[in-house]
Structure 1
Amino acid sequence: MILICLVIGVLGFAGLNVFGKTLFHKLLMCLFAVVFIVSGIFVVLNDHNEFGMEKTVEKKQIDLVSSGDKEMLPILLYQPLGDGAEKVYLYRTSDSEELKKTGTDQVTNQVVQSKDDASLTQETTYWVYESNFYQLLFGIADNDHKYANQSNTFSLPDTWQVLSADEAKALGEYMNANKEELSKKAAAYVQEKLAALLTTSPTLSEKEQQEAVQAFTAEFQQQAIKEFLDTLHK
């Protein structure tokens, strides 16, 4: 409707400016000019300042699986942009094999530790019309539910690693090249830890021992990754 008012204002002003002779015509021409100017101002305000609109937030939580190989410790990948201050995160959901990535247009990302399973909480803010009146007025612009910004919070257990794409690639190459040696070291580490645990807790059930072995294996992998990354960045 606002664009219709804008067009009517232009045509009315132009027509009367050419053909208007009487005082009434001149007053009417001024009225059309006011309609045109006011309509133009409202169009600009709606386009640049979201006049007549309000924000609404849509929130969803997504379960995550590792961005890397299933054989490795679970990881979340990111790709640094520019000087590295901004990052695009590459994540994989439980229902997709394809890596998805966070956006760069008005997007903030953060990674926090959690005791729960890995997940992504995504809060997306949109501009929507405050009322049907404003939608009728500006709806022709087709900007209802206009994107404003997005916040992504990755909640990861302490067993997860957050690595850049280059770090993950180098890590994969290192682990493949040293697979046999790392397996021996891991077995020795787990055996030593398990023996120490059984010394203090000799009545552990077989299930508890298996859980301990899994925990010690993950612990060794985390230490191995940390040592590799420290060496990589020297």
Structure 2
Amino acid sequence: MIIIILSLGLIGFIVGYLAFKQGWKRHLIGDLGLILLVSAAVLMIGNDTKHWGMRQTTTSQTTTLKSTVANPYVKLLLFEPVKKSDTEKVYVYRTTTNHQRQHTAVSLKTVNRVKTAHIKTARLTTKTTRWTYKNNFWRWLYAGTGSHKTLVKRQNTFTLPKTWATLSVSQAKWLDNQAKSESTKANATIKATVTAKVQAARIADPSLSTKQVAALTKNIEQAASAQAKQQEPVLIAKLIKQAQARSIH
């Protein structure tokens, strides 16, 4: 509507002072057109620079998250440094309803926070503040001049369970490689332990049958695997600390 008022003011101003050389019609139409023209221009400038007729409105949305990568050892939230910065980061995440990776915006108006809590499910809470119309009158007045939903600020808060870890993409790659290496070492250790114990048992009792040896081997493997499984959380925690101590780049 403000565009129409601006156009009517311009037309009235031009017609009033050009079509009529003198008399009350010239001043009535020309002055009224000038008033409309200036008023509309001031309103548009005020709306554009001072957000006249608008207010800040904040909306909040919470989504549940799953590990950014399918890591069998630990659930991760990843981030990527922005232009080799040590403080500016883009967080990479996945929601439980979307398998595709998503990331936070690279913007001075976006703030990201990560915190841990005694919860079972990770979640992301996004609070978005925008300029919106105060009421229908202002919406009607500025109709046709744009959406006027300018972003003021956005805050992303990642709330993670204590069992999660936050790593850069580079750190996560290192962790994955180290975990696989440690797993290979653990399997080799289990195999060597089983072989040594079975050989010792056969030396101690040469009369063991094939079935008895097979049963003994199975029991030793299960015991060795269970022991390795118990030590796994401590090892993973150690590797995570080592990964977090590395450069994020």
Following the alignment from structure 2 to structure 1, what is the Cα–Cα distance between the partners of residues 183 and 247? 18
Partner of 2:179: 175
Letter in 2 for 1:230: A
1:115 equivalenced with 2:108 (yes/no) = no
Q: TM-score, normalised by structure 1?
A: 0.78
SS class of match (2:11): helix
Go from structure 1 to structure 2 and tell me whether the alpha carbon gap of 1:216 and 1:22 turns closer, same or farther (over 3 Å shift). farther
Partner of 1:79: 80
Give, in angstroms, the shift of residue 216 of structure 1: 6.1
Give, in angstroms, the shift of residue 124 of structure 1: 1.4
Partner of 1:207: none
Letter in 1 for 2:41: G
SS class of match (1:70): coil
Give, in angstroms, the shift of residue 131 of structure 1: 1.1
Q: TM-score, normalised by structure 2?
A: 0.73
Deviates more, 1:34-43 or 1:172-181: 172-181
Letter in 1 for 2:112: N
SS class of match (1:163): strand
1:222 equivalenced with 2:223 (yes/no) = no
Structure 2 unaligned residues grouped into runs of 5+: 190-227
Contact 2:71 2:176 in 1 (8 A): no
2:91 to 82, 89, 94: 89
Following the alignment from structure 1 to structure 2, what is the Cα–Cα distance between the partners of residues 216 and 53? 60
Contact 1:109 1:151 in 2 (8 A): yes
The 5-angstrom pairing of residues 140-151 of structure 1 reads 140-151=144-155
Following the alignment from structure 1 to structure 2, what is the Cα–Cα distance between the partners of residues 141 and 214? 64
Following the alignment from structure 1 to structure 2, what is the Cα–Cα distance between the partners of residues 149 and 134? 22
The 5-angstrom pairing of residues 42-61 of structure 1 reads 42-61=43-62
Go from structure 1 to structure 2 and tell me whether the alpha carbon gap of 1:229 and 1:38 turns closer, same or farther (over 3 Å shift). same
What CA deviation, in whole Å up to 9, does each residue of 1:84-105 have, x standing for no partner? Answer: 3221111111122111111123
Deviates more, 1:86-95 or 1:139-148: 139-148
Following the alignment from structure 1 to structure 2, what is the Cα–Cα distance between the partners of residues 75 and 153? 15
1:153 to 129, 152, 157: 157
Partner of 2:7: 7
Contact 2:171 2:243 in 1 (8 A): no
Structure 1 unaligned residues grouped into runs of 5+: 186-212
Contact 2:167 2:244 in 1 (8 A): no
Following the alignment from structure 1 to structure 2, what is the Cα–Cα distance between the partners of residues 183 and 156? 32
Give, in angstroms, the shift of residue 12 of structure 1: 1.5
Letter in 1 for 2:47: N
Give, in angstroms, the shift of residue 150 of structure 1: 1.3
Following the alignment from structure 2 to structure 1, what is the Cα–Cα distance between the partners of residues 160 and 229? 18
Go from structure 1 to structure 2 and tell me whether the alpha carbon gap of 1:65 and 1:36 turns closer, same or farther (over 3 Å shift). same
Contact 1:73 1:218 in 2 (8 A): no
1:132 to 121, 136, 142: 136
Give, in angstroms, the shift of residue 156 of structure 1: 1.0
SS class of match (1:141): coil
The percentage of counterpart residues that share the same residue type is: 26
Go from structure 1 to structure 2 and tell me whether the alpha carbon gap of 1:181 and 1:11 turns closer, same or farther (over 3 Å shift). same
Go from structure 1 to structure 2 and tell me whether the alpha carbon gap of 1:228 and 1:164 turns closer, same or farther (over 3 Å shift). closer
Greater radius of gyration (CA) = 2
Go from structure 1 to structure 2 and tell me whether the alpha carbon gap of 1:184 and 1:36 turns closer, same or farther (over 3 Å shift). farther
Go from structure 1 to structure 2 and tell me whether the alpha carbon gap of 1:130 and 1:216 turns closer, same or farther (over 3 Å shift). farther
